[in-house]
């Protein structure tokens, strides 16, 4: 729902995996449009809770998988589109050898060489860590990984921060939560056999769509916004 008063800030609920891009896009939008923006970030579970509860907001940029029936009902279907996708990638702490992980055997070999691997704790409201382990199980190398996993309570960016501090050897999370963390060496996307990647959808809140909300949704499709997404590891989609 929205009840944006004239001149009030545009209220945006945003998934943590899109945070780095949003923090670059929103100021540019403010500069060009003259509208103010208020951002609320959260894990998939938190953004789903905020949207489905009918919290006052004007638009949302969230993971597609986080939208249950209740959350979807709070969004304007006519304005909804898939804005970008984040591959899942791997990052290393400084001092470790940079190696290819594009082929599954190489990815497994890198995992075997590490002492610790940071994943987001599912208890923090994101299922990506659990999905990574489930797919490692499916592909037959979960036993090479399980004892090395260090669960970090928070989004992948916090796991990446632990790598940057030297507390963990590596992180596997959204590429957008690795590339933007200084001090982490990004190895690239993990192999396609893992079948992982997160699409982000954008939509206005249900009800009368404020002109600034539609303007922001259109702004997400501009070349400048697409370039900002690319620089943070996202693949912008038509």
The structural domains of the chain, ordered by start, are 10-84+198-236 (3.40.190.10), 87-194 (3.40.190.10)
pLDDT tens, 144-171? Answer: 999 999 999 988 999 999 999 999 999 9
pLDDT at 1 over 70: no
Q: Distance of alpha carbon 161 from its chain centroid, rounded?
A: 15
CA distance 74 to 191: 35
What average pLDDT score do residues 217-226 get? 97
Average confidence score pLDDT of the chain? 93
Backbone angles phi, psi at 73, to 5 degrees: -65, -20
Q: Measured in whole angstroms, how far is the alpha carbon of residue 34 from the centre of its chain?
A: 27
Confidence at residue 56, expressed as pLDDT on a 0 to 100 scale: 87
Q: Quote the CA–CA distance of 8 and 138 in Å, as a whole number.
A: 49
Q: Residue ranges of the alpha helices (H) in the chain?
A: 19-33, 44-52, 69-73, 104-113, 128-138, 156-164, 211-219, 223-231
Cβ pair 224, 28 in contact under 8 A: yes
pLDDT at res. 236: 85
> Residue 34 and residue 189: Cα distance in Å, rounded?
37
pLDDT digits (tens, 9 = 90+) for 191-201: 999 999 999 99
Tell me the pTM.
0.84
pLDDT tens digits for range 26-71? 999 999 999 999 999 999 999 999 999 877 899 999 999 999 999 9
Rg (CA), the chain: 18
- Strand partners for 37: 10
Residue 194: φ, ψ to 5°: -75, -15
Q: Are strands 170-174 and 117-120 parallel, antiparallel or unpaired?
A: parallel
Cα end-to-end distance, the chain, whole Å: 26
């Amino acid at each position: 729902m929205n009840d944006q008063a004239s001149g009030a800030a545009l209220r945006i609920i945003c998934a943590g995996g899109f945070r780095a891009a949003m923090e670059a896009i929103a100021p540019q939008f403010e500069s060009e449009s003259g509208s103010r923006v208020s951002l609320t970030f959260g894990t998939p579970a938190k953004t789903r809770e905020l949207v489905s509860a009918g919290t006052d907001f004007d638009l949302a940029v969230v993971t597609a998988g986080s939208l249950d029936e209740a959350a979807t009902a709070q969004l304007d279907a006519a304005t909804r589109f898939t804005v970008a996708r984040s591959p899942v990638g791997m990052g290393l702490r400084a001092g470790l050898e940079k190696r290819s992980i594009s082929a599954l055997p190489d990815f497994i070999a890198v995992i075997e060489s590490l002492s610790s691997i940071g994943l987001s704790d599912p208890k923090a409201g994101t299922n990506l860590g659990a999905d990574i382990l489930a797919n490692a199980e499916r592909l037959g190398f979960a036993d090479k990984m399980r004892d090395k996993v260090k669960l970090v309570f928070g989004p992948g960016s916090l796991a990446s921060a632990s790598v940057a501090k030297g507390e963990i050897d590596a992180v596997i999370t959204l590429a957008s939560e690795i590339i933007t963390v200084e001090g982490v060496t990004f190895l690239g996307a993990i192999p396609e056999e893992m079948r992982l990647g997160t699409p982000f959808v954008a939509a206005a809140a249900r009800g009368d769509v404020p002109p600034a909300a539609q303007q922001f949704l259109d702004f997400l499709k501009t070349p400048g916004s697409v370039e900002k997404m690319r620089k943070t590891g996202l693949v912008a989609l038509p």
